[in-house]
Amino acid sequence: MQEGYDPFSSRVSINVSVNIIRTIVMALTGFLMVPYYIGSLGMATYAIIPLITSVTTYFLAMSDSLADAFTRYTAISVQNGDSDAVNRTFTSSVIGMAKCVAMLMPVVIILSVVAPFIFNIGDTSDLSVQLTFFMIITSTLMLSFSACMGSVFMAYNKMYITYVGRIIQCLLQVGLVVLLFYLDTPSLTFVGISYIVAIVVFLLIMLASLKKVCPTIKFSREYYDRELLSKMGRLGLWAVIAELGALLFIQTSMVVVNVMIGSEAQGSFSVAANILSMINTACTAVSASVIPLIYRSYANKDTDGMIRTLKVFSKFIGLLMAFPIAYAVLFTPQVIQVWIGSGYDDIYPMLYVMLPVEVAVCVSSAMICVPIVYARLRHLALMTVVLGVLNVIMAIVFIEIGWGTLGACIAWTISMVLLKMIFYPSYASKLTADTHGKYVHSLTSAYLSFIVAVAIGLLIRQFYTLPSTWMAILLSATLSFGIYLIIMFRFMFNDDEKRMMETFLPGFLQRF
């Protein structure tokens, strides 16, 4: 570990802080816009918006996976300090992403045209639905295209620029919808227009910041490297397969529950899935900041530094998320009751089964970038697909033998244990240290904290019952989490780990 102030590492806390703010802003706006859309457009028309955004998941699975592959080569070129290599990688990735978007556009057009005839759109006009489908999905592809510039910010560990741009995009998008609805009759088309305008502004922010971060960067046809693009494309293909394989887990489980049991059961399952999604989003907001550090270590051939960083980050994320997950397990009834009301007791056992494995999911989130960094995605992609198929088969079998929705939860949990608790840490350890147990300590620390937190919580519950109110839940969670953080930072990290974590803070805080 380098001694003294390291400006590169010191930006980690800034990236994390801004990303958390971005996550909160997007969550709040999404939460508040649902009743606004329903009140303005009606339930039938509003239902088209989440339908479109769910369709964009499949486009993102392809375009974002390719963007991750392009990011890998751009980041390493920047870290090596070779301006020609940076320009060659950047130009090739821009052209590659442009080709990817161009290939997907016919699919977008066809899907937009046939959407009114495939989906139930109520009284909404066909043209309005077609235009909105086209604009929202197109904005999604434009967002994926921005990764070519975002990779440069990642290479310099200035991801906060991207996050600030996303915050502005989100607020502008919501502001435009409200303004257009106020000036004219609320229309689904206005929602699509807001998406397009907001993403254009976001791209302009990214473009304006690019030269400031990397003054030597240049896009030119002379830097286009067909062989490099082919290499990035092969890596991107495995990334796409891995991402599509990931859709075989919770998303496909919902479909299985819907088909085999019914929409009401699928609704309950979706509530549990939403809680898992919120935990994963919070976890990703922190784990994303480790990626630039891993790229720098790889570019500098500093394997020891990479291993130390991965061990500290995976341990930190696991310990950080262990308490919220334990709290959710302990007070599942209160959380569900204040969120969606009483009468949903069937959701409790689902969360009791699925939440504990989320600790491993959070720990492994710091290791997700390792196969991409080493350009060794093939095994990860195949394993993800195999376990995804296993999840579907087990869900069908467990439901068929009478386990109901809980059977799908058990199938998902088994699959996640195999993928996130066993395969991910083992594979990351094999790539970085040529062994299989390098990151076991991070998992062990996280689960010990989780178990202790649950045990203490169960003891407290013998003498005190938490009221089912938002005030009680938020206040108790905040106070207890604050105490947990003090104990965590004081006793759960050794001196070397603390010194490394200090380098992630801004200079003035390090001096303080």
Token readout for 10 is: 């010191």
Of 209, 75, 208, 54, the closest CA to residue 140 belongs to 54
Mean pLDDT in the chain? 88
DSSP letters spanning 411-461: HHHHHHIIIIIIIHHHHHHHHHHSSS-TTHHHHHHHHHHHHHHHHHHHHHH
Same domain, 124 and 157: yes
**pLDDT greater at residue 176 or residue 338:** 176
SS3 387: helix
Region of residue 120 (phi > 0: left; psi between -120 and 50: alpha; otherwise: beta): beta
Let me know whether 157 and 272 are in one domain.
no
Last residue of a domain, one of 186, 209, 236: 236
Specify whether 27 is located in the same domain as 121: yes
269 DSSP assignment: H
Task: Please say which residue of 177, 203, 236 terminates a domain.
Answer: 236
pTM score: 0.82
Sign of CA dihedral 368, 163, 6, 82: positive
Residues 413 and 491 in one domain: yes
Q: What was the pLDDT predicted at 406?
A: 95
* 103 has a pLDDT exceeding 70: yes
Same domain, 177 and 269: no
Q: Write the DSSP assignment of 43-66 as a string of letters.
A: HHHHTHHHHHHHHHHHHHHHHHHH
254 and 226: one domain? no
Residues 16/289, Cβ–Cβ less than 8 Å: yes
Q: Do both 205 and 269 map to the same domain?
A: no
The whole-number pLDDT of residue 512 equals 61
Band the pLDDT of 364: cuts 50, 70, 90. Answer: very high
Highest mean pLDDT among 57-71, 305-319, 334-348: 305-319
CA atoms within 13 A on the CB side of 503: 19
Residue 255 confidence (pLDDT) above 70:
yes
Which conformational region is residue 224 in: left (phi greater than 0), alpha (psi within -120 to 50 degrees), or beta? beta
Secondary structure class of 264 (helix, strand, coil)? helix
The more confident residue out of 72 and 510 is 72
User: What domain range includes position 448?
Assistant: 248-512
Tell me: do 420 and 501 sit in the same domain. yes
Position 424 confidence tier, pLDDT thresholds 50, 70, 90: very high
Asked if residue 169 belongs to a domain, the reply is yes
**Minimal CA–CA distance to 67: which of 100, 42, 18?**
100
Q: Which two tokens stand for residue 288?
A: 């994303």
Q: Higher pLDDT residue, 419 or 288?
A: 419
- Are 100 and 192 within one domain? yes
**Is 241 among the domain residues?**
no
Q: Within this chain, do residues 253 and 165 fall inside the same structural domain, yes or no?
A: no
Give the pLDDT confidence of 167-185 residue by residue, as tens digits. Answer: 999 999 999 999 999 998 8
Quick one: 224 and 259 in the same domain?
no
* pLDDT at 355 exceeding the cut of 90: yes
Q: How many residues does the chain have?
A: 512
Mean pLDDT for the stretch of residues 347-357:
95
In a domain, 243, yes or no: no
For 16-30, the pLDDT digits (tens) are 889 889 988 988 887
CA 367 to chain centre: 13
Phi-psi label, residue 122: left if phi above 0, alpha if psi -120 to 50, beta otherwise: left
The answer on 291 and 156 residing in a single domain is no
- Answer with the one of 212, 236, 260 that is the final residue of a domain: 236
Residue 484 in any domain: the answer is yes
Contact 372, 69 (CB under 8 A): yes
For residue 156, report the phi and psi dihedrals to the nearest 5 degrees.
-95, 5
Domains of the chain: total: 2
C-beta neighbour count of 306 within 10 angstroms? 23
